[in-house]
Chains A and B, each alone.
Chain A
Amino acid sequence: MTLGVVGLCLVVLLSTVGGRAERVEYDYYKYHPLSEISDWMDQTARDHPDIVTKVDYGKTHELRTISLLKIGLNTGEKKKAVWMDCGIHAREWITPAFCQYFVRQILQTYKTDPKLGEMMENLDFYVTPVVNIDGYCYTWEDTSTRLWRKNRSPSPEGCNCIGTDLNRNFDAHWGMSGTSFNCCSNSFGGRLPVSEPETQAVTYFVGSRKDDFLCFLTIHSYSQLVLFPHGHPNFTDPGHNELMEVGLAAADAIRRVHGMNYSVGTPADVLYAFTGSSQDWARLQGIPYTYTFELRDKGQYGFLLPEDQIQPTCEEAYSGALHIITFAHDKTFNGAMATVAAALWTVLLPVGVSTLL
């Protein structure tokens, strides 16, 4: 079964490479299988060699490579960073679509939008279109696999079902809430925290650079929510009020695009309590602005969001994400500039006074 799945994804890739492909505009408003997303990542890096690099940073259980696009102007200095990941849950197809849209959008507008241009200079964006690659491939097999959620790890000893819920597998109050220890459950958090290769890839990459990250955004569907830490019902983040304020402003930005309402809060308040999430782990690493987006809709189509909603969903989510990123950026960079200016005055003023005297 495993070989068949690997085979399926590989065959599609080969047929794309083998043909004499003419340059066709990538359709950001259709759902793409993994092979097309991989090709798109390579093409994007080729099209923007100065500012885009594809980075391989892990392997899935079925030995597929997990990759991200690192996007930012090369200043030769160590830069602050923004993390965005999509496709932790296989069936949430709108999310890889959003990550691809986000990349296209920032690449298309940074030369003409001064704010975005400034952020491209000061920040590197690390975007992973699909974290749970094995799961995503599995959902493309046929209609009966389309609603798969977990990764494709084999069943542990003493239990007979495949897959771990990657968003219960991170080392953040692991196993304490909203997690099942039954491997057949869709919220099975693994035998141990960070037991899964996909979780390990994110943990190692972000963890080894944690002081660089200002912002960690993880994209899911559905429910129309902007969530922030923590998922544990008895644990409130010291920065709760600010996270709420920034989240509410992001939801306002979302609403201004197409009128859609996204509620804001911790999972324990607005969704359900659960631990082991990537957002909670990122926050515990000290990354200041960590959010989970739950995109459209509210249950009418659910995971099976029609392709004609890809564009409006991406547009509104982009607006929300950009708000948080801009806030995090300005607090770090304009705040720093203000400090430098104040320091300069402190030096100049006594000089001026002594001159007068």
Chain B
Amino acid sequence: MATEELNPNHYPAQRAAKVVQHYLNTRYGSPYKVFGLKKVYSGKVEDVTDIGVKYKLDLLVQEMIENTTVRCSAEVVFARGENSSQVQVSCEELLKINTTAQEEALYQQYKIQRNFLSAENLPDNYGHIEPDMKPLWHLGAVASSFVMLNESTENTLYNMARVANVTQLATENEQLKFDYHVLLHDMVSQEIIHWKLLVTWSPPEGVKVLEMKKLPHCHNCETLSDAS
């Protein structure tokens, strides 16, 4: 099948690149490491029989907390007939971003705290997040990336709009555990989609999502309590 050169600013390359962002967050993200898409330099697309559509991209990702940028090359395959994608990325520089100290400090702080954490509306209506809530917001963005990666197709462009609610839960092991209610925004449909996530994190294990559940769309709800 013929390979077609893509305009890097047009939506096909941009949507595929967004999937790379989600993938990187699932692999490397943490309360102190969240990736965004900065720029697509070039892209190619190929229709592969029996497999799907394969995008090859040259892009710049940005770690959003420290504003570090890293150039990557990536392949994204949108499987035919499925709402799924396979991603392979190569960006060695990524591994040089070291957030171990901050992560350890946060982990210890959360471990020894007597009361379980909870927060809602990160950010609030004015875009504000209390500084000590920011790691929970970052963790929510990373956890959301697991959903966004799973849900992404050539016809979606996902971002996390807000953490509606996060509650820390008890655990039997070394992992910290959180219950998240997040709002995702799909740019293409302009819809806000609610998801509940059961999330664990520790510096050695990274972020994991144990359970994810899409909540039904409540059109005329006045309060969050109506949304279940």
Q: CB within 8 Å of B: which residues of A? A: 1, 31, 139-140, 142-147, 149, 160-162, 165, 184-187, 223, 261, 263-265, 269-272, 298-307, 309
Partner of B190, one of A160, A186, A263: A186
Contact B191 A186 (CB under 8 A): yes
Q: Report which of B128, B159, B220 forms a contact with A302, defined as CB distance below 8 A.
A: B159
* A161 vs B143: C-alpha distance when bound (angstroms): 31
B127 touches A301 (CB 8 A): yes
CB distance from A27 to the nearest CB of B (A): 12
CA distance A162 to B218 in the complex (A): 12
B interface with A by C-beta (< 8 Å)? 7, 9-11, 14, 36-37, 39, 64, 120-121, 123-128, 159, 161-162, 183, 185, 187-192, 217, 219-224, 227
**B190 and A187 contacting across the interface, CB-CB below 8 Å:** yes
Q: A184 — which chain B residues lie within 8 A by C-beta?
A: 217, 219
A187 vs B190: C-alpha distance when bound (angstroms): 7
On whether the beta carbons of A144 and B36 are closer than 8 Å, the reply is: no
Q: A144-B223, A304-B123 are in contact. Are A271 and B189 (CB under 8 A)?
A: no
> Who on chain B is nearest to A268 by CB?
B11
Q: Which residues of A contact B221 (CB under 8 A)?
A: 144
With A186-B191, A223-B187, A309-B127 known as contacts, the answer to whether A298 contacts B11 (CB < 8 A) is no
**Complexed CA–CA distance, A238 and B101 (Å):** 58
Which 10 interchain pairs have the tightest Cβ spacing? A299-B159, A306-B127, A186-B190, A161-B219, A304-B127, A304-B123, A263-B9, A146-B125, A143-B121, A272-B188
7 contacts between A and B (CB under 8 A): A31-B125, A162-B219, A269-B10, A272-B11, A299-B159, A302-B185, A304-B162
Contact B161 A304, beta carbon cutoff 8 Å? yes
B147 nearest CB across to chain A (Å): 15
Give the nearest-CB partner of A161 in chain B: B219
Question: What is the minimal beta-carbon distance from A208 to any residue of chain B, in angstroms?
Answer: 31
B residues near A142, Cβ cutoff 8 Å: 223
Known: A162-B219, A302-B159, A304-B162. A186 touches B189 (CB 8 A): yes
